[in-house]
Amino acid sequence: RHDHAKAQLEAQLAEAREAREKADQHLSEAGTHRREAADRGRELARLQEENALLGRKVEALTGQLRRERDHKAEIEDSSAARHGELSQQHAASARELELMRARQLPLETELLQLKQHAAELEAALDDTAAKYRGESEAREGLVQRTKELDGLAKALADKSKQLNFAKEASDGRARQLETEGHALRAQLERAHQEAAAKDHQVAELGRELAAAQEENAALQAEMDAVARELLSEAKQRAADQERWHQKLEEAQGQLGKATQEWRSGVQALTEAKRAHAADLMETRKAGEEKQLQLQAEHTQLHALLQAAQRENKELLAAAAAQREEYEGQLRHERNHKQQLAEGHEEAAASADGEKAALRQQLRELKNEANERGQKYVATLTVFQDAIKKLHHEAQRQREDNATLLQEYERMRKFVHDVVEKQGVPLQAWFKEVAGGLEALSYQAADLKAANLEARGQLRKAQLEREEERGRGALLEDARADLEQELKIAAARLEEAEGRAADKQRLLHKEAVDLQASHEQLEERLRRLEASLAAANRQNQALQGELQNARGDLGASSTRAAARVQALEAQVADLQTNLRKAETRQKQADQARQAADAGHEAKAAAHGKAAQAAEAAAAALARERADRQAE
């Protein structure tokens, strides 16, 4: 069940990784769409700004420089904020590593203690093996004593045969025994008394055998208790497996929560992108409104032209200063990025080393736990085999005792029969039997003592087995706790690696964005410088054309004034010479025609100046359109 739950957890992790890859792919596609939208917006802005004039250009450049300053300030603020966040995260990672190292020290200490305890357990197992060897020797002694009892039984059988032969001989001596009847009767009474005493001894032996049977029953009850303990231990293991299954379900629930949080984060990022797209649309609308406003301000072009010429030098100086400032900031960002990359590499290397050490420690703990489990199972097997052997030996001993009792009962009956028939041989045989029974009682006492000793050793072995079982349960709990802590540490390491990878990707992305923005700023500065130089050249050309137009206009005005003076002289002559009125009138008509021609020339000069101004404005517009197209 544990392997199945582990496989399910790995499958869910794989699904989460696939979902994360799909989310990253969607994010990259969203970034591509955003870049395409930005490109289309820039193209639309470029198409809309093709018809803009020089005043909008100057104001746009001024606003652009202002925005670049604001953007620079925002970049500095965001860089400072991100640097602070990265510093805090790095400090948090360092604290987590310190905590993990601090937790690792007691784990190492506990591991050493477990190894020492394992050595003690091995020594205890060696002692137990030695005790079992002693018990096996005691069992061999019991077997030897049983063989001796078998030999004694055979001797009793031989004695019974001899008694049979003696009975046959006593038939011949029956007549002789009749004369000794009175003496034999007295002896028989004494023999009856001694037989009663022996019966009492036999009853005591029977009670001792019953006590031995009770002890065997107690041993059987103890074996049943051991079986029940083994059953309870199996139930405890099943409960532990159920607890591990619950822990796995809790881990799966936490993984589901993390997946839900990740999905909510992706959704929030999508909403933020939508809001950013809405902001871009609003910015575009504001630009269009501003373009209309600039088109309304087209009439102020000539006034702004001179102001632009004065501000041109100031803008160039400010652009050069800003360029130097941007280059300094870029160098600072590159140095900061290199420092962050070095710090991240060191942190990643240390985290990899600690992760490898923890994995090695986990493998060692698993191997050690497996070895201990195997040793524990082997010890339990040895205990069970020993208990089975003791049970078989006790059962065999009970059977032997029952056989001896039956043999004794048969012999007692036979003795009574013989006593009734014989006298003196019976007395001798009775003495031999009494000696044999006394030897049997001694042997029974020795067997009882050996049984008691074996029972004590068995109880001691059971106590040691219970202690070993308790130690094994403690070791299992410690191993489970260590595995859980190692899993938590591995999860934290994976989480730290994920955060470090995310930070590295963000830093790389920020560096790429900064590099791209720096290149764009440099390109804009170069374009600004080129456009300002071209504007200066066009301004100088327009000023030259304007001066030429003004010179032509002054010359035409001078010529017109001279002609007016000539006409006035002619009018004076006409006044003095009224007689020549018709002729003078014709001359005056001609002079008026010449004056009209001069006025037409003056108007033509003004038209040429206006056309030159419009041509200059059109040339500026075309140049701006070319720059925007570039």
**237 lies in the same domain as 124:** yes
> Of 479, 495, 511, which one is at a domain's C-terminal end?
479
Structural tokens at position 121: 């357990």
Supply the DSSP symbol for 50: G
Predicted confidence band at 609 (pLDDT cuts at 50, 70, 90)? very low
**467 lies in the same domain as 553:** no
What's the whole-number mean pLDDT along residues 98-103?
64
C-alpha to C-alpha distance for 460 and 487, rounded to whole angstroms: 40
**392 lies in the same domain as 270:** yes
* Angle at the Cα of 254 from the Cα atoms of 480 and 272, rounded to 5 degrees: 150
What's the whole-number mean pLDDT along residues 364-369?
68
**469 lies in the same domain as 559:** no
Determine how many CB atoms are found less than 10 A away from the CB of residue 525. Answer: 17
Domain-embedded: residue 276: yes
Q: Are the C-beta atoms of residues 468 and 382 closer than 8 Å to each other?
A: no
φ, ψ for residue 53, nearest 5 deg: -105, 180
Please give the residue that has the higher pLDDT: either 423 or 40: 40
**270 lies in the same domain as 362:** yes
Q: Is the pLDDT of residue 133 over 50?
A: yes
Q: pTM, whole model, 2 decimals?
A: 0.20
C-alpha to C-alpha distance for 371 and 118, rounded to whole angstroms: 10
Query: What tens digit of pLDDT does each residue of 448-467 get?
Result: 676 677 677 767 766 776 77
Nearest alpha-carbon partner for 246 in 546, 2, 549, 541: 2
Q: What confidence score (pLDDT) does residue 69 get?
A: 67
Q: From residue 604, give the alpha-carbon distance in Å to each of 552, 599, 600, 607, 609.
A: 10, 8, 6, 5, 9
> Of 431, 447, 479, which one is at a domain's C-terminal end?
479
Max mean pLDDT range (205-209, 240-244, 294-298): 240-244
Place of tokens 């065999």: 396
> Of 461, 479, 497, which one is at a domain's C-terminal end?
479
**611 lies in the same domain as 469:** no
Q: From residue 605, give the alpha-carbon distance in Å to each of 264, 333, 593.
A: 73, 59, 18
Q: Is the pLDDT of residue 87 over 50?
A: yes
Structural tokens at position 579: 């007689």
| Interhelix angle 301-421/54-172, nearest 10 degrees | 0
Domain-embedded: residue 274: yes
Domain-embedded: residue 29: no
Domain-embedded: residue 13: no
Q: Is the pLDDT of residue 607 over 60?
A: no
**603 lies in the same domain as 461:** no
* Angle at the Cα of 354 from the Cα atoms of 349 and 358, rounded to 5 degrees: 150
Domain-embedded: residue 528: no
Q: What confidence score (pLDDT) does residue 513 get?
A: 72
Domain-embedded: residue 12: no
Burial class (CB in 10 A: 0-12, 13-18, 19+), 79: middle
**339 lies in the same domain as 433:** yes
Domain-embedded: residue 502: no
Q: Are the C-beta atoms of residues 79 and 333 closer than 8 Å to each other?
A: yes
Contacts of the segment 510-515: beta carbons below 8 A, 24+ positions apart: 510/82, 510/337, 511/333, 511/334, 511/337, 514/75, 514/330, 514/333
**467 lies in the same domain as 540:** no
φ, ψ for residue 422, nearest 5 deg: -125, 170
Q: What confidence score (pLDDT) does residue 452 get?
A: 74
Query: What tens digit of pLDDT does each residue of 268-317 get?
Result: 655 765 665 566 667 666 656 665 665 656 556 556 556 655 665 676 66
**449 lies in the same domain as 595:** no
CB-facing half-sphere around the CA of 490: CA atoms within 13 A: 14
Sign of torsion over alpha carbons 259, 265, 269, 271: positive
Q: How many domains does the chain have?
A: 2
**230 lies in the same domain as 117:** yes
Q: Are the C-beta atoms of residues 6 and 246 closer than 8 Å to each other?
A: no
C-alpha to C-alpha distance for 358 and 351, rounded to whole angstroms: 10
Q: Are the C-beta atoms of residues 440 and 153 closer than 8 Å to each other?
A: no
Predicted confidence band at 320 (pLDDT cuts at 50, 70, 90)? low
Express as a percent the part of the chain with pLDDT over 70. 14
**147 lies in the same domain as 233:** yes
Nearest alpha-carbon partner for 617 in 546, 511, 518, 514: 546
Structural tokens at position 298: 């087209």
Query: What tens digit of pLDDT does each residue of 403-433 get?
Result: 766 776 776 676 566 556 655 555 666 667 6
Contacts of the segment 429-433: beta carbons below 8 A, 24+ positions apart: 429/159, 429/163, 429/166, 430/191, 430/194, 430/195, 432/159, 433/156, 433/159
Supply the DSSP symbol for 423: S
C-alpha to C-alpha distance for 508 and 512, rounded to whole angstroms: 6
Query: What tens digit of pLDDT does each residue of 332-354 get?
Result: 766 766 666 676 566 556 656 66
**Domain with 587 in it:** 536-629
Q: From residue 432, give the alpha-carbon distance in Å to each of 347, 352, 409, 439.
A: 96, 89, 16, 10
Q: With helix as H, strand as E and coil as C, how does 478-544 read?
A: HHHHHHHHHHHHHHHHHHHHHHHHHHHHHHHHHHHHHHHHHHHHHHHHHHHHHHHHHHHHHHHHHHH
Domain-embedded: residue 246: yes
Which residues, other chains included, contact 222 with Cβ-Cβ below 8 Å and sequence gap of 6+? 458, 459, 462
